Amino acid sequence: MLQEGKLAFYYKRNSGWQRAEHHIVDYNDSFQRTPFPENLMTVLKNSCVTLFGLGSMGSRLAIGLVRAGIGKFKLIDPDTFEIENNSRHECNLHDIGRSKVKAVKEKILKINPFVKVEIYPFDVFKKSNSVLDKVFQNSDLVIATTDKTAVQLSVNYECWNRRIPALFSGCYEEARGGEVLYTIPGETSVCLECLRGASQQPDQKREYDYSNAQSSEEYKGEPGLNAAINLITDVAQQYAIALLLRNEDCEIAEMIDPKQNLLLIGGALGKGFYFFKKPFHFIQPKFKGPWKDCGTCQIIGADTKVS
């Protein structure tokens, strides 16, 4: 029996009948407070975002993007959730020992059960080309937030050659700051390899080496406040949405400037670190590029310089 938006049914208990009700809701109503009209929400719903790395940044990006209305995800991360991840990850104590991609997928589907999610709980770059093709196929945006430089550069290479927009984000020492770089093949001035090879990078005076760890036993995460990491992650999330809507007539698409595709973000403790002169210092460098020795975008030009 359907009455005023409620589904009512009866079941027999002991000697009498009991009435129970279930409310009928329209899932689309959950997006009533988003700033986008129906046509833009349709674009987001039909978009596929591929995420490399489901750590503190990647897990928050996944949850934020599903709340923004993204309809398809591919999640790649070979790691499991451990107790030391609990202070700054979207998972919790109930997920200890579980695959990060499986745990995050479960949380995505609790927010939107209609989302399509593919998971890859292994290093896809160590698998066959057919697996790699499947990962990148039909991706509208690839996001990489892993702690391994080699993986970040491999994603950069694959996205550039497959003509897929990509976004790279990460934190500097103890999350004193971080960066967001996006690439649109054929449009943006520099790619990730250009940035790593030809521009000045912050000194990393730390005992934690993210890029050389070969196993979870060798890996030690660097200290950093959850709030400091989230500051950078939440900026990256908005750039991700802007990239997906860059061909639409909307205000957020105006954020995308192929000539200024890097944002440096200083946190509360960023004063005096790298280029940051004060807490919460945002810097958007201008480039002369791409880097002439770049093996990815392979376009000869002036050396990349931060001005």
Query: Would you state the torsion angle of the CA atoms of residues 157, 158, 162, 164, taken in this order, to the nearest 10 degrees?
Result: -90
Q: What are 303's two structure tokens?
A: 């050396």
Q: Would you state the pLDDT for residue 6?
A: 64
Encode pLDDT of 5-23 as tens digits.
Answer: 566 677 777 777 887 777 7
Q: Give the per-residue pLDDT at 13.
A: 77
Average pLDDT of the segment spanning 72-81 = 96
Whole-angstrom distance, CA of residue 16 vs CA of residue 145: 59
Helix then strand then coil, in percent of the chain rounded to 5, is: 35, 20, 45
In which band, very low, low, confident or very high, does the pLDDT at 302 lie, cut at 50, 70 and 90? Answer: very low
Place of tokens 């702690």: 147
Across 38-65, average pLDDT: 97
Q: Give the type of residue at 107.
A: K
**Is the per-residue pLDDT at 167 higher than 80?**
yes
φ, ψ at 161 (rounded to 5°): -75, -25
Q: Which of 217, 214, 164, 219 is nearest to 186 (CA)?
A: 164
pTM of structure:
0.86
The percent of residues above 90 in pLDDT, for the chain, comes to 68
Predicted pLDDT at 162: 95
pLDDT for res 239: 98
Q: Is the peptide bond before 290 cis (omega within 30 degrees of 0)?
A: yes
Q: Is the pLDDT of residue 210 over 90?
A: no
- Record the tokens describing residue 230, joined without a space: 């989230």
Q: Is a pLDDT exceeding 80 seen at residue 202? A: no
Q: Are 241 and 249 in contact (CB under 8 A)?
A: no
What pLDDT was estimated at residue 129? 93
* Domain map (residue ranges) of the chain: 37-201+215-283
Question: What mean pLDDT comes out for the span 145-171?
Answer: 95
Quickly name the fold that domain 37-201+215-283 has.
Answer: Rossmann fold (3.40.50)
Please check the confidence at residue 217 and state whether its pLDDT lies above 80: no
143 sits in which H/E element: strand 141-144
Tokens of 67: 């709340």
Look at residue 224 and tell me whether its pLDDT is greater than 80.
Answer: yes
pLDDT digits (tens, 9 = 90+) for 96-153: 999 999 999 999 999 999 999 999 999 999 999 999 999 999 999 999 999 899 999 9
80: DSSP letter: B
Where is 125: in which H helix or E strand? Answer: none
| Phi and psi at residue 22, to the nearest 5° | -125, 130
Q: What is the mean pLDDT of residues 68-93?
A: 94
pLDDT tens profile 245-286: 999 999 999 999 998 999 999 999 999 999 999 999 999 988
Range with lowest mean pLDDT among 18-27, 60-69, 221-230? 18-27
How would you write 35-49 as a 3-class SS string?
Answer: CCCHHHHHHHHCCEE
Q: Determine the Cα–Cα distance for residues 110 and 127; give it in Å rounded to an integer.
A: 30
* Residues whose CB is less than 8 angstroms from the CB of residue 160 and which lie 6 or more positions away in sequence, other chains included: 166, 183, 185, 191, 296, 297
Question: Of 115, 97, 146, which Cα lies nearest the Cα of 48?
Answer: 115
Please name the residue that has the structure tokens 């590029």.
Answer: 289
If DSSP states are collapsed to H, E and C, what string results for 256-279?
CCCCCCEEEEECCCCCCCCCCCCC
